[in-house]
C-alpha cells in the first residue's frame, strides 16, 4: 500500500526528533500501522536549516499554506506552538480535509472546543498525545485504557522545569531565584520561563486532561493557576521535617457539585511515589473507581520523547484514516452530544488541607490565639511545629516560626481565618499558605 504522506509545520527540536525517529524506526512503524508513514513536505521559516535536517527527497517550503494546499498530504503535524498563527493553520488544515497531529497544549486548552467541533464537522481527526506530559501516553490512557472507569481525580507533575527547580531547592537548600538561574544555564528553563514557573504550562495540560476525564469542554480560563515563584527553601525544609515534599501539581477532581481544576504548589506525603519524582521528569496519578490508583511516569519533554507521542498519533491516524468517523474514538473520549455541563468550581469552593507558616512574636499566648481563630472557623488542626529563634534567624531572637498542618476545609473558610490571623499584632510577616494533598 502506498505510504501515507505527512506535512510538517515547524522543524524545531520536536520536529527534528519526529523526522529522525520516524525515519530510523520506519520498518517497525510500518508493521504496526499497516502502511508506511512518510514526511514528504516540511514548512519552516528557516528553510536552509530545514533542508540540512531532512536532506534530499523532502520538499521544503517557508510558507505553511503550501503544505495545506498540497492534495497529496493526508496528515499535517503542527509544531509551531502558541495561540496565533498555529490556530489559523490548524483550522485551515481541517477545512482542507486533512487530519492534524499537534503538540500544542496552549492552543487546545484555550481553543480546543472550536477546533474539535470543526474537526468533527469535517470528519477528520485532531490527535494530541504529545500535548501533555511529552512521551508519557497519558491521553490514550485516559481516553481509552481507563474508559470503563469513573475518574475520581487526577494529580500530575506535568512541568519538568518547575519539578527540576523544586528538586534542586530541596536537595541543595537553595532559594528559588538561585535555582532558576542554574536551570536556565543548564537549559531546563527558557530565557523567559514565565509560562513554566507561574504554572500556566501545567494549567494548559491539566485542562486538557480534565476535559477527557470528565467529558467537559476545555476551560482553561476557569482553572486556578498559581506558580512556584513565592516558595522558599525554608518551607521546603519544614515540609521535609513533617514528612512531606512540595511539588507543583496539576489537579482535576470530581465533586458532586462540579470539577476542581487547579495548579499550585502542594505538600505531598514523602511516602507517595509521585513525591519521589525528581529532576525534570513528569508523573501523573489517576484514581479510577474500578482500577484504583494508576501512575504514569516518564520524560515530559525533549526531542525524541515528545516525538514518540507525535508518531504514536501518526500511527493511530493512519490506522483510522479510512474508517467511518462515527466509529473513531471521540477527541475528548465522550461522544460530542454527550458532553457534561458540570461547572468548574472557583478556588473558594475547593476542599483541601493546608500547611501554614506564621512568623510570630515569641511570647506567651500567641499559639492559643491562632488556634482559637482556626477553631472558630471550624478548621481542625492535624499537627503543630514550632521553631525556636536560633533555628529561624540569628537576627530575630524575639521571633519564632509557627507551622500548622490542618485537616480538610473549604478554601473560603481558610481565607477568612487567615485574614483574622494576619491582623493579629503578634503575626509579624505575611502568612505562608500551601495546600496539602494526601493523594490517598
Question: Among all residues, which ones are annotated catalytic?
Answer: 205
Burial of 50 (0-12, 13-18, 19+ CB in 10 A): buried
The b/e string for 288-326 (b: 16+ C-beta within 10 A; e otherwise) is: beeeeeeebbbbbbbbbbbbbbbbbbbbbbbebbeeeee
Residues counted in the chain: 440
Collapsing DSSP states into helix, strand and coil, what is residue 228? Answer: coil
User: What residues form DSSP beta bridges with 288?
Assistant: 151, 292
Would you state the cell numbers that stand for residue 173, as one nine-digit string? Answer: 537548600
Instruction: Return the closest-CA partner of residue 283 out of 154, 435, 149.
Output: 154
CA–CA separation, 25 vs 36, rounded Å? 11
3 state SS of 159: coil
Beta strand 258-269 with 432-436 is parallel
DSSP, residue by residue, 93-120: HHHTT-EEEE--HHHHHHHHHHHHHHHH
Cβ 131 vs Cβ 140: under 8 Å = no
Distance from C-alpha of 308 to C-alpha of 314, rounded to nearest angstrom:
10
Are 288 and 274 within 8 A, CB to CB?
no
CA distances from 53 to 11, 12, 310 (A): 9, 10, 18
> From CA 107, how far away is CA 344, in angstroms rounded?
20
Contact status, residue 149 vs residue 291, Cβ threshold 8 Å: yes
Sign of CA dihedral 401, 405, 406, 411: positive
Amino acid at each position: 500500500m502506498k505510504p501515507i504522506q505527512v506535512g510538517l509545520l515547524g522543524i524545531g527540536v520536536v520536529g527534528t526528533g519526529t523526522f529522525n525517529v520516524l525515519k530510523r524506526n520506519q520498518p517497525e512503524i510500518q508493521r504496526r500501522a499497516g502502511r508506511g508513514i512518510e514526511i514528504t513536505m516540511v514548512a519552516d521559516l528557516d528553510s536552509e536549516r530545514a533542508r540540512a535536517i531532512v536532506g534530499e527527497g523532502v520538499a521544503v517550503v517557508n510558507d505553511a499554506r503550501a503544505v495545506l494546499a498540497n492534495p497529496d498530504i493526508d496528515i499535517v503535524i503542527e509544531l509551531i506552538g502558541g495561540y496565533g498563527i498555529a490556530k489559523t493553520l490548524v483550522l485551515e488544515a481541517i477545512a482542507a480535509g486533512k487530519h492534524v497531529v499537534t503538540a500544542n497544549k496552549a492552543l487546545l486548552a484555550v481553543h480546543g472546543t472550536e477546533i474539535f467541533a470543526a474537526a468533527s464537522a469535517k470528519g477528520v481527526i485532531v490527535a494530541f498525545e504529545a500535548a501533555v506530559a511529552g512521551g508519557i501516553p497519558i491521553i490514550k490512557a485516559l481516553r481509552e485504557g481507563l474508559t470503563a472507569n469513573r475518574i475520581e481525580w487526577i494529580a500530575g507533575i506535568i512541568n519538568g522545569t518547575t519539578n527540576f527547580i523544586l528538586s534542586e531547592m530541596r536537595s541543595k537548600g537553595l532559594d528559588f531565584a538561585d535555582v532558576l538561574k542554574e536551570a536556565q544555564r543548564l537549559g531546563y528553563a527558557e530565557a523567559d520561563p514565565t509560562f513554566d514557573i507561574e504554572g500556566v504550562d501545567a494549567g494548559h495540560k491539566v485542562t486538557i486532561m480534565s476535559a477527557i476525564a470528565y467529558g467537559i469542554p476545555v476551560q482553561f480560563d476557569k482553572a486556578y493557576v498559581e506558580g512556584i515563584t513565592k516558595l522558599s527553601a525554608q518551607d521546603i525544609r519544614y515540609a521535609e521535617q513533617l514528612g512531606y515534599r512540595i511539588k507543583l501539581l496539576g489537579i482535576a477532581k470530581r465533586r458532586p457539585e462540579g470539577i476542581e481544576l487547579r495548579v499550585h504548589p502542594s505538600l505531598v506525603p514523602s511516602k507517595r511515589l509521585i513525591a519521589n519524582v525528581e529532576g525534570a521528569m513528569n508523573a501523573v496519578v489517576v484514581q479510577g473507581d474500578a482500577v484504583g490508583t494508576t501512575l504514569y511516569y516518564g520524560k515530559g519533554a525533549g526531542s525524541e520523547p515528545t516525538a514518540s507521542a507525535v508518531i504514536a498519533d501518526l500511527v493511530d491516524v493512519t490506522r483510522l484514516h479510512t474508517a467511518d468517523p462515527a466509529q473513531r474514538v471521540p477527541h475528548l473520549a465522550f461522544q460530542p452530544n454527550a458532553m457534561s455541563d458540570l461547572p468548574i468550581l472557583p478556588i473558594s469552593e475547593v476542599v483541601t488541607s493546608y500547611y501554614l507558616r506564621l512568623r510570630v512574636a515569641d511570647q506567651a499566648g500567641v499559639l492559643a490565639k491562632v488556634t482559637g481563630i482556626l477553631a472558630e472557623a471550624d478548621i481542625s488542626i492535624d499537627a503543630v511545629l514550632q521553631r525556636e529563634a536560633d533555628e529561624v534567624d540569628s537576627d530575630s531572637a524575639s521571633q519564632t516560626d509557627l507551622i500548622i498542618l490542618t485537616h480538610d476545609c473549604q478554601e473560603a473558610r481558610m481565607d477568612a481565618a487567615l485574614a483574622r490571623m494576619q491582623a493579629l499584632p503578634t503575626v509579624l510577616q505575611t502568612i505562608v499558605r500551601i495546600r496539602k494533598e494526601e493523594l490517598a
